[in-house]
Structure 1
Amino acid sequence: MSLPNDYAAGTTRHAEVPSFTGDLDDTPAGYTDRDALLSHLGRQVLHGSRGRDFASAYITTKDGTRAPRMYRVDSDALEKCEYVQLTNKQYASVLVVDIDLPGTAGGHPVNLNDEVKEKFSQLISRHLGPAWVGINPVNGKCQALWLIDPIYADVGGQSPHMALLAAATHTLGQWLGHDSHFAHRFSRSPFYTGDSPTAYRWYRQNHAVRRVGDLLKDLRTMTGQEQYSKPRQQFSSGRELINAVKSRREEAQRFKALSEGVEAELAGELDQYDPELTQGVRVLWIRAGRAARDETAFRHALKTGYRLRQSGQRLTDAAIIDAYERAYGVAQEVGADGRKAELPPMRDRQTMARRVRGYVTTSKSEVHGGSSVSGQVTSSERKALATMGRRGGKKAAERWKDPNSDYATELRTKLQGANERRALTGRVTARQIANFFDDTFIQTGEYPSIPQAMNELGVSRPTISRALKTAGIQLPRGRKKK
């Protein structure tokens, strides 16, 4: 694999500019480094794009469907692709963060944004630094790669490990100032060797392969965030559990009413023309002349949080607390009614900011996306709620007493249909596995190995073995001849 002109073997520039590099190595990546990265990716082909016109990265098949344009990792064509998908929805062996803070022109670590260099230095001092860093020679923005133990997902891209990777990527990216709109599909290619003036300059830092869970835990420790702990049974009795759920439901209903009012205001975007606003704040009143200061301040902080998220800005504690304090001051000014200002202590305001951030980031509305809600009961508690109360389990037992009842017959019919669909899915998967082996044999003259098929298709070894046995495909035994 050839190298770009600026990447002549053995040349560095860090000695010419004695400035802070964030403890990043300024030696350009070479042939061995790229081969090691390809080996870690464990892929025979990669989905690439020669430019930002990603529509050209897909081809139309004979049956009219769209399929990705794939490139063999040892081909010259891949070296001409400026963008590549290092991960897909079913398999990932790297974590990619796109850092959107501009630095200066040059394409070396010294040209990165000062804040980014400082944070890279903190990561490296704790042995959490990236394995690869690619730098835009025009504006100093960059992308960073961390090598991770390979993780897999089902056909829909869902698995606990993928959820953990998403959490680690979000935590790391938010701390580094990432591009919140980065889709984590096409990223800049470390294998590009063309002469594009905007091609990223890549620097290999280490070959460390990390477990995603350990990486996330260490990141949260470093940034002072709370560690995740598995929810435990927290109620001493069924009545206590029911009362807690009722109080949560009432709190959620109150928040829903407040949130709908805030979203109605946001939808209009006519604050400057609203006569009910005082200095940009909608003051809530207990009675004429007496303002509800805390409610006014919290509502305005929530509204500010929504707007920050809509504009793609970070939901920092400082921004939310500033909005809260400003709205409180306005309410105090126009509706004190003889009361002194009684702002909550800073610790309570920080707790309020975390609540607002949780509400905004888990909002379920069409405007803000996401899912809800905080404070959910555990699965065991949810099952207990399903059978508690005056009817509960007695009613369920009564329904199943007669195995020939309409209720039991209907549920058995549903179960039979689900089992049939599950069996059909298994047959479809088996055909896909057999087609993959046959297609590879037609193109290359030899069958792929079972580990290669596992990586490509995201299925287990027993699944592949059963599919091959059903299709009558016999793989050659023994080691391959060199």
Structure 2
Amino acid sequence: MSLPNDHVSGTTRHVEDLLFTGGLEDTPAGCTDRDALISHLGRDVLHGSRGRDFAAAYFTTKDGTRAPRMYRVDSDALGKCEYVQLTHKQYAAVLVVDIDIPGTSGGHPIHLNDEVKEKFSQLINHHLDPAWVGINPVNGKCQVIWLINPIYADKDGQSPHMALLAAATKTLGEWMGHDSHFSHRFSRSPFYTGDSPTAYRWYRQHHRVYRLGDLLTGVRSMIGQTQYSKPQQRFSSGRELINAVKARREEAERFKALAQDVETELAGQLDYYDPELVQGVRVLWVREGRAARDETAFRHALKTGHRLRQAGQRMTDAAIIDAYEQAYTVAQEVGSDGRKSEMPLMRDRQTMARRVRGYVTTSKNESYSFSSDVGQATNAERKALATMGRRGGKKAAERWETDPEGEYAQGRRAVMEKTHRKKRVQGQTSRAKIQALIGQAYVETGKLPTRKEIMAETGFSEATVKRHVRSLRQAGLLPQ
């Protein structure tokens, strides 16, 4: 079935128009479109401003506080506001981007900058185009609105979804040429019905609602940006994770001891008189003929870091890695014991250099910082450890309940009985000490010592002193 000539010509003309507008529809938004947007926002009132004097968008209440001027969404007053807040810090149903690239005057999609129209064309081809486009009739700049599934935040405006909204806004804005100073609070109102010559002209494109995560993923994929990937669990079991954490702790303690040892050597200038230096490197030995290559290399790199800092020079990765490689090579030459060289990968050597800088820069503190990705547990692993701890407690409680006379319960009772016996003896000793102190003071002065005097003499806490004095008084063992 063939189409009428006038229909064909109209369709062709529409396609040609879309080519000049970057694929954007050029039909101005109407009342039905605005009603659909209001329905999606899910708000009864909106904070509006009639002009750029945003201070006038607030009023002073009777108690002296500032409050926003709110307008009902079905009122004519909202149509007189050229600016409006479409989002709230605790709620958002749209994503707004202000594009700061000027085009030409006119207020239609064809007047947008060619670069901006090309970006819109790409978005449309990937089905990521915005629902609303507002165009400045004076300079051809524009604001765009995407409809998203509503997201929420706490009273401080903090939530993972709000962070995702910020990331999506930043990604879209940077790619499209946004205004970096746009506050994302007041934006041009698509509900304005006045006759201001500078008011934006709004064009509704569609009513699609995006899931925020899918929108961000699609945009990143389109522009070739790296996608966020959730860290994967590196351990096959809880026991493997626990053993890895223990190994990390032991390694950290070992290297901390090395760092403190190196600081002591440098402070006493012992390094310069060490008879075991080999080519300027002090080699550590596992046994005769077998050198501790990794420890030797790390120790020498740490010394180099300290010396660079003392000399006021930069502790660069290259300098620290060179020192590490030199010491490792020396240890391999004099103490390989038949082993092949197992120099760590460059990635691990760079991690070592960051760790050395952490040790050196915090050398005057008791704590040391660790920069190794391998040496730190991820958030998922820390949560897994906490979960295993809770599950262990639940399992223990289950054993008590299901088998109160079993081996586990009897063993725990024995431990608790030993602890309680020790606490009882300790309490009796403390009570006797307080009684003796009170009796001696009464004999010498004829008065009972105050609670603060007892605390100062015995070193006990106030609660301990009060408890024992009360029990002694109830037992009639204190002088009247």
> Based on CA coordinates, which of the two structures has the bigger radius of gyration?
2
Higher helix share: 2
Higher relative contact order (CA 8 A, sep 6+): 1
